[in-house]
Structure 1
Amino acid sequence: MSLITGLDHVNLLIDSGDDALSRARAFYQELLGLEPLERPANTDSGNPGAWYQCGVQQLHLTTEKDASAVNRRSRRHPAFRVANLEALRKKLESAGVEIIAGNRFPGQERFFVRDPWGNRLEFVERSAS
């Protein structure tokens, strides 16, 4: 029996600054449609941030000085499961977000993007087969 029962949340770093949280809201809430959550004032980092509901999991964003410099070099990423990959692709493209192709795997379609801070994000639609 595994003691791990699932993934609770993923935390991504975004640059600090006066407009960081409004830019995060525009990308993650308005463009991607994630539901904002109440964020406790006493987080471990003490830095401003935002929390979003993503299915049964959560996405946490934390501000940190110069996060983009590290993010843009990294291949680490969360993968978001989506119901209609093509509709999301069109929505992102019309918002000016660059779509990055991923290798093809059986039973799924997928692509990557980088958020405004360089975080790599994967979007996956599983097929029934």
Structure 2
Amino acid sequence: MFTRLHHVQLAMPVAQEQRARDFFAGVLGMTEIDKPPALVSRGGAWFRSGGLEIHLGVERDFEPARKAHPGILVDDIDGIAGTLRAAGQEVSWDNDFPGFRRFYAQDPFGNRLEFLEQMV
């Protein structure tokens, strides 16, 4: 019935698209993708890497998601953690998920992000 997750949407404050680009494209190395023309006027930005898309949508009364989060599978968790630290982002490791190494970080708006790498 289900085949895969197409995207995750996170919220962001009004007029902060450049901060989103600086983080998701500049720090994480994702590629910004064009929004459909009918959605451009709503603001926000969309990014893709591998099979993952993250859509950032504008919320006028924005509050970051501090508990809800995307779980992003990666193949070089130490590299991602190092990249985030080098960009001034805090990385919080958590060893409570058997079979995975994982940590939490935040996007520039305070939304929680989880990065996981399956242990072999």
| TM-score of the aligned structures, taking structure 2 as reference length | 0.90
Task: State the match for 1:57 in structure 2.
Answer: 52
Q: How far did residue 124 of structure 1 move?
A: 0.5
Aligned partner of 2:8 in structure 1 is: 10
Is 1:105 paired with 2:97? yes
Query: What is the aligned length?
Result: 120
CA RMSD of the aligned region, Å?
Answer: 1.7
Aligned partner of 1:37 in structure 2 is 33
Q: Is the 8 A contact 1:47 1:64 kept in 2?
A: no
SS in 2 for 1:52: strand
1:96 aligns with 2:88: yes
Any conservation in 1 of the 2:45–2:57 contact (CA below 8 Å)? yes
Unaligned runs of 5+ in 2: none
2:94 counterpart of 1:127? no
Q: CA deviation at 1:46?
A: 5.0
What does residue range 72-87 of structure 1 map to in structure 2 within 5 Å? 74-87=66-79
Q: For residue 35 of structure 2, what is the amino acid of its counterpart?
A: R
Deviation digits for residues 5-58 of structure 1, max 9, x if unmatched? 1111111111002xx111110000010011111111213x95201111132231
Give the structure with higher Rg (CA). Answer: 1
Matched AA of 1:10: V
Whole-angstrom distance in 1 between the partners of 2:83 and 2:52: 23
Distance 1:66 1:59 in 2: 20
- Is the CA contact (8 Å cut-off) linking 2:95 and 2:101 kept in structure 1? no
- In the TM superposition, residue 116 of structure 1 has moved relative to its aligned partner by 1.2
Q: Are the equivalent residues in 2 in contact too, given 1:101–1:112 (CA < 8 A)? A: yes
Code of the aligned partner of 2:11: L
Instruction: State the secondary structure of the residue aligned to 1:71.
Output: coil
**TM norm structure 1:** 0.84
